[in-house]
Amino acid sequence: MVDEKLPAVRMDRVRILQVFRNLIGNAVKFTPDGGSVKVLARPVNQGVEVSVKDTGPGIPAENLTTIFEKFQQAAPGPHRPKGTGLGLAIVKHIIISHGGKIWAESKPGQGSTFIFVLPV
């Protein structure tokens, strides 16, 4: 869902597309059959906020900041999908290089939401 009145954001379209591919790809990967993934965009104070929300297993609170570090993954034990643990570190680098910020909100068993804000 996108608010049609979003302000223009100066960005490297290729890199921001990479951010979307990673966040949406992760959401799909961690959401079980019958779950959902929602992408929302809205204007916020001097920026545009984008969120990617899933109905997956969620992320423990102690992992919410470390998941943005290289080689870190928060998926529990044997159900961990394949990956290098670099995707979210790259996403964070891209968002910060655009002057933005990114974070995650989650509770185990209640899904996860990844939110980033880009300045206008």
Domain ranges for the chain: 13-119
Q: What's the DSSP call for residue 25?
A: H
Degrees to nearest 5, angle at CA 64 with 93 and 6: 55
At a CB cut-off of 8 Å and minimum separation 6, what does 77 contact? none
Residue range 86-113, pLDDT digits in tens: 899 999 999 999 999 999 999 889 999 9
In this structure, what token pair is assigned to residue 23?
A: 């966040």
Residue 83: per-residue pLDDT:
58
Residue range 62-92, pLDDT digits in tens: 889 889 987 556 655 545 555 557 899 999 9
What does the mean pLDDT of the chain come to? 89
CATH of domain 13-119: 3.30.565.10
Residue 82: per-residue pLDDT:
59
Which pairing describes strands 112-119 and 101-106: parallel, antiparallel, or unpaired?
A: antiparallel
Instruction: Flag the least confident range among 1-15, 38-52, 105-119.
Output: 1-15
